[in-house]
Chain A
Amino acid sequence: MSNQLYQQTVLKHNRDPRNFGEIDDCSHHAEGFNPLCGDEVKVFLQVEGDELKDLKFTGKGCAVSQASASIMTEALKGKKLSEVQVQYEDFIKMASGEKLNPSGEIAAFAGISQFPSRVKCAVLAWKTFNAAIAGADNTISTE
């Protein structure tokens, strides 16, 4: 059922996204687009040493994309970059259907692979985050 995707966690973060906004003088940032639906997300990172001190996002889009971004910021903020990398990879694996047991609110997306047309919405913020960390091309697209 669609309730499986639209759990309270997702709806809550969509209504009231955490860490929403920009970081002035951030160390990394990137923009992500989903040309399929026009969703966009910008992520701003403050990396100090090997720690992700701060992480914020702005954007507009569906509940799945916004909640995913919000939950991502809470999950990654304050973590070591090595842990962040593991979490990023786990999220992408989970979105592509691998059975993982994510902890915390990320679990809201455990069933996302059963909604193939929505996987791009869920991974947009994460991929944008990854692009920001990599600092390669600062614009990414889910297409």
Chain B
Amino acid sequence: MLDIAKIRADFPILERQVHKKNLAYLDNGATTLKPNQVVETIDKHYKEECSNIHRGIHWLSERATESYEGTREKVKNLINAESTDNIVFNSGTTAGINLVVQSYGRSQLNAGDEVIISAMEHHSNIVPWQMLRDEKGIVIKVVPVLEDGSLDMAAFYALISEKTKFISIMYVSNVLGTVNPMQEICDKANELNIPVLVDAAQAIAHMPVDVQKLNCTFMVFSAHKMYGPTGVGVLYGKAEYLEKMPPVNGGGDMILSVSFDKTVYNVAPYKFEAGTPNIAGVIGLGAAVDYLLTFDWQQVEDREAELIAYAHEKLEQIPGLKIIGTAKIKSGAVSFTMKDIHPHDIGTIVDRSGVAIRTGHHCAQPLMEFYGIVATARASFAIYNTKEEVDQLVKALEKVQEIFA
């Protein structure tokens, strides 16, 4: 069993009062809170080893480089990558997807080539592909979602053809909480030799992720959704792919030599890390990985499943409340609507009860359209959340009903 009181003590922000009420932070799908271990590591970097990395030959720079590159090792272990060379640091999930689209997509895909995404994708896994479509004439095919919020796998198989040259799908839906059958998708992609990108933004803090077992070509995620700092993320790529991909940004660490006639690019991952990176952020990510790995994955998953089941049970008792996304395997989030009360109004009223939830379209407007709604309210969970916080949400929702009665 996880020691929730001990975990909560790692997150001093949980002690805060909001509108004179105890804070119930249920917006972890947007960003998780950060434990002391992460905050102190970043603090320590700035206070004790602040320096630029890689080029410095002085002591401080060596220390900073060690911490920075040490994180590559930690991330490699977290996702079971083949080597640290597969781990590219960037500013987050969105940057990772854009890099793959702008580098692999632009250099390898041609007019008429088909890219398969899903109807539940976040805008960050839709818009970059549309930008490439407008530039190169690729075709985007969309796997529909079933009413319960699971992926229509029959449609997925039907969409695959000889023209399919890339598959890019999220592991866990930020809106529906659906855990997609990623192993099955990757197996099919590999059988047909189609590269596949896994957007693991909403999976990485909630379940063990193994890139070799999945055998995915690319994986992207953000530090800030796994108890780490904002502005830093990871792109994992298979070596043979990263090697053939041209850099997108020029300058700094991405070169081996530069003359005005010719530039020799560095090898992966460095050729994708132009300029001074978010050093403190990467080091903070390392601390977040350490923190995450102090927990037993099974216990984390059990805990979360318990919270989600409890939230479902309690929310379903509220008249007029409808849960959007009832797939069999869910993680992280419970989205809902309440009759004709706009989720933004729900958000404001529950906020006054100290409850932080997300309301809106969650950067998944096409998915909202599928359900014929403009927005949802979403409670999303992390390891520090409690059933009492779910109760606090339920009470706050009853207040919403009173006001809008």
Q: Complex formed: what's the CA distance from A30 to B388 in Å?
A: 46
Tell me which residues across on chain A come within 8 A of B404, comparing CB atoms: 6, 11, 63
A55-68 interface code vs B (CB 8 A; 1 in, 0 out): 00000111110000
A86 contacts the other chain (Cβ, under 8 Å)? no
Q: Complex formed: what's the CA distance from A64 to B348 in Å?
A: 10
B360 contacts the other chain (Cβ, under 8 Å)? yes
Within 8 A of A (CB), among B343-393: 343-345, 347-349, 351-352, 359-361, 365, 368, 374-375
Q: Complex formed: what's the CA distance from A36 to B360 in Å?
A: 7
B45 contacts the other chain (Cβ, under 8 Å)? no
Measuring CB to CB, which residues of chain B are less than 8 angstroms from any residue of chain A?
341-345, 347-349, 351-352, 359-361, 365, 368, 374-375, 399, 403-404
In the complex, the answer to whether A61 meets B342 with C-beta atoms within 8 Å is: yes
Known: A61-B342, A63-B342. A38 touches B361 (CB 8 A): yes
Q: Complex formed: what's the CA distance from A115 to B345 in Å?
A: 11
Tell me which residues across on chain B come within 8 A of A3, comparing CB atoms: 403
Main secondary structure of the interface of B (DSSP, over half): helix
Chain A, Cβ-Cβ closest to B374 = A38
Chain A, Cβ-Cβ closest to B403 = A6
Q: Complex formed: what's the CA distance from A26 to B344 in Å?
A: 31
A39 contacts the other chain (Cβ, under 8 Å)? yes
Tell me which residues across on chain B come within 8 A of A36, comparing CB atoms: 360
Q: Tell which of B347, B352, B365 has the most Cβ of chain A within 10 Å.
A: B352
**CB-contact partner of B368 in A2, A5, A11, A38, under 8 A:** A38
Known: A3-B403, A62-B345. A39 touches B352 (CB 8 A): no
Tell me which residues across on chain A come within 8 A of B344, comparing CB atoms: 37, 39, 61-62, 64, 118, 121
**CB-contact partner of B342 in A11, A62, A115, under 8 A:** A62
In the complex, the answer to whether B349 meets A37 with C-beta atoms within 8 Å is: no
**Ordered nearest first, which 10 A-B pairs have the shortest CB separation?**
A62-B342, A62-B344, A2-B352, A2-B349, A37-B360, A38-B361, A63-B345, A38-B374, A6-B403, A62-B345
Tell me which residues across on chain B come within 8 A of A117, comparing CB atoms: 347-348
A136 contacts the other chain (Cβ, under 8 Å)? no
Within 8 A of B (CB), among A104-127: 115, 117-118, 121
**CB-contact partner of A37 in B341, B361, B403, under 8 A:** B361
Tell me which residues across on chain A come within 8 A of B360, comparing CB atoms: 36-38
Chain A, Cβ-Cβ closest to B353 = A2
In the complex, the answer to whether A1 meets B352 with C-beta atoms within 8 Å is: yes
In the complex, the answer to whether A118 meets B375 with C-beta atoms within 8 Å is: no
Known: A2-B403, A6-B403, A39-B374. A118 touches B348 (CB 8 A): yes
Within 8 A of B (CB), among A1-31: 1-3, 5-6, 11
In the complex, the answer to whether A60 meets B348 with C-beta atoms within 8 Å is: no
Q: Complex formed: what's the CA distance from A5 to B377 in Å?
A: 19
| Shortest distance between the CB of A16 and any CB in chain B (Å) | 13
Tell me which residues across on chain A come within 8 A of B349, comparing CB atoms: 2, 6
Tell me which residues across on chain A come within 8 A of B348, comparing CB atoms: 2, 5, 64, 115, 117-118
